[in-house]
Structure 1
Amino acid sequence: MVLFPADSGLWCRRFHPSPDATARLVCFPHAGGSASFYFPVSSELRDRVDVMAVQYPGRQDRRAEPCVEDLGELADAVFAALQGQDDLPLTFFGHSMGALLAFEVACRIERSGLKIERLFVSGRVGPAVVRPERLHILPDDDLLAAMAEMNGTDARLLEDEEILRMALPALRSDLHAVETYRCDPGAGAVLNCPVTVLVGDTDPRTPLDEAREWHAHTSAGFDLEVFPGGHFFLSEQPTAVLALLDAHFAASQAEPE
């Protein structure tokens, strides 16, 4: 086990300080992704939401640190880093690998006696769905081809081979974490908060029937929202996704205490 300091400044990025925020959104990036993926979300919601984006080891300003190849270990580290961040109502948002990680951290938070307002999961099948994928063991060129074929990497990165190859270790590590992950129903895998699932209608990695399997992991409300686009529909439909988040925070703040 790799031990990390429980430092929210190390693990989370705030791109836009929000001194008047009445809620907090914690965002979890996809495999190979970084906190900066959520810069537009932070920019749009900053007037009333404190947006924190998780920064995994092994990328950007944490490139010198070892990557984490175990999702449970990564969830433990993020959970530790979020201690003391419950002074505002917490909402989680995770895309792809980030959806599983957000779920695992949410489980840990609820088991500690704290509350999550809602979990938004995007571009990911239910936690208990096991897919026999082994992308993390592919040779570099084959892995890059697979990412390009399923639109699993930002198109701008695909045009810059040097940057892409620098990102490969983090991508491979993240894929290992996802592909070896197994949901443990005995560890309290049913949340007490509502779950909203976001899916692109042409995403080959997230069939609707398998996305609906998230319903088994909440004892509260469940919603499925389908958007035009593929695996990275978030980048294709930013206005619609942000409107969904904004509606959530508006409704939460309108609820009587």
Structure 2
Amino acid sequence: MKKPQLFLLHFAGGNCYSFQFMKPLLHDFEVIALELPGRGRRMDEPLLNDFDAAAKDLYRQIIGDITDAPFLIYGHSMGASLALRVTNLLEDAGKRPVAVIVSGNAGPGLERSRMRYLLDRPEFIKELELLGGLPPEIIENEELFGFFEPVLRADFEIAERNNLVSEPPIQSPLYAVMGSMEENVERIDNWMAYTRGRFASEVLEGDHFFIQRHPHRIAGIISSFYHRMYAMPQS
């Protein structure tokens, strides 16, 4: 029997290697880590800075990779927002994920109106330090940071200019996870409005990149939620 496919959608500034810390714990799945252009294995492609274009890019990757095995989607932060749109595109094409797991994001409509991608470099760096996740050796190395900065700015623009407030709910069940110190963590159940399927949520200790502190729990959520939803009859 084929393993279920797990598609991973990275956070701002991430790439196909961003979830390496968790992949050894996901041995029940065929793990497929996606990435947007302009980084990792797609370094030679131009960056995207438009949410719709990014979602369509990920959708095309998934459509090209799915087999007859069941599949699910996991996205963190920017990847969580993209997961919602991508799932709608997949469902419109008759390809419904068994489950969708989102983390580091309280869902559409709750983000403060801000355009961090337009900040000057010192202010942009302050924002990155507040979020965490970017090693100090990158921030403190001017040449190295200069390499990552365009990718980060493009991804922040994707994340901050999304048009998801009026996004229709998906049919797939959804599990939302956030860190206890994240902005809007108390409103995590906002995600409930964006699924017609089963919904569950959980808060784990930590900041925006709490997933790096809880790889076993995140992997456990992905696995257990998938198996629970796969066992249920789908309408």
| TM-score (normalizing by structure 2) | 0.90
SS in 1 for 2:7: strand
Contact 1:23–1:249, Cα closer than 8 Å, also in 2: no
Q: Counterparts of 1:1-257 in structure 2 under 5 Å? A: 21-46=2-27, 48-84=28-64, 85-155=66-136, 157-183=138-164, 185=166, 189-204=168-183, 206-209=184-187, 211-252=188-229
Q: Give the aligned residue type for 2:175.
A: T
Query: Once structures 1 and 2 are overlaid, which stretch shifts more, 157-166 or 216-225?
Result: 157-166
CA RMSD of aligned residues (A): 2.1
1:13 maps to what in 2?
none
Larger relative contact order, structure 1 or 2 (CA cutoff 8 Å, min sep 6): 2
Shift of 1:113: 1.5
Q: Give the aligned residue type for 1:169.
A: P
Gapped runs of 5+ residues in structure 1? 1-19
Distance 1:25 1:96 in 2: 17
Q: Give the aligned residue type for 2:213.
A: E
Shift of 1:72: 0.8
Gapped runs of 5+ residues in structure 2? none
Task: After superposition, give the CA deviation of every residue in 1:63-122 in whole Å (9 maximum; x if it has no partner).
Answer: 232111111111112212222414211111000000011111101001112211111111
Contact 1:130–1:182, Cα closer than 8 Å, also in 2: no
Task: After superposition, give the CA deviation of every residue in 1:148-184 in whole Å (9 maximum; x if it has no partner).
Answer: 1232524553354432221110100011111111116
Distance 2:172 2:205 in 1: 27
Shift of 1:21: 4.2
SS in 2 for 1:166: helix
Q: How many residues align?
A: 233
Distance 1:91 1:154 in 2: 30
Distance 2:145 2:121 in 1: 10
| TM-score (normalizing by structure 1) | 0.83
